[in-house]
Amino acid sequence: MRPSLYEYAGGALAFRALATAHHARCLADPELNHPFSHPDGNPEHVERLAAYWGEVLGGPDAFTRACSDQAAVLRMHAGNGDMSDLGRRFVDCFVGAMDDAGLPADEEFRASMRAYMAWAVDDVLAHEDLASVPAAAGLPRWSWDGLEQD
């Protein structure tokens, strides 16, 4: 039996390192740094991001238990205008952060992770306003083969 992407990456510590590296890359990006550098930003952002990605990619339900659901994530990002270049930059930071965090270099693993992030960015950008966000939604689940359907 094949391990989940979460397990293959190295579990909670690997996802914490990935979220930390991704956050640092976003802060260093001249276009992405603004949304990531607010002085009143959430100090738990990196931990929540690690928990979110971990849960989506096959780990425990830490984000759902401690934070919220997918609808809340979509509401937080909806209505920010044209962010297509920011989406591409976000994916690029994620891909580079996998190196920074020391995640496995396996090509199939990396392709699955990149495909997830590209899909996730498209999903977030599809909600141009709050009216398009569902009232409630469970977190998506992503495996080696892509989006898992219920």
Write out the chain's pLDDT in tens, 150 residues.
899 999 999 999 999 999 999 999 999 998 888 766 665 556 688 999 999 999 999 999 999 999 888 888 888 767 665 666 888 999 999 999 999 999 999 999 999 999 999 999 888 888 777 788 888 788 999 999 999 986
Domains and CATH numbers, the chain: 5-144 (1.10.490.10)
pLDDT in tens, 52-61: 999 999 999 9
* Cα 22 to Cα 44: distance, rounded to the nearest angstrom: 14
C-alpha closest to that of 20 among 115, 97, 105: 97
The pLDDT value given to residue 148: 95
* Whether the model pTM is above 0.85: yes
SS3 112: helix
- Count the Cβ atoms, other than its own, within 10 Å of residue 39: 4
81, exposed or middle or buried, with CB in 10 Å at 0-12, 13-18, 19+? exposed
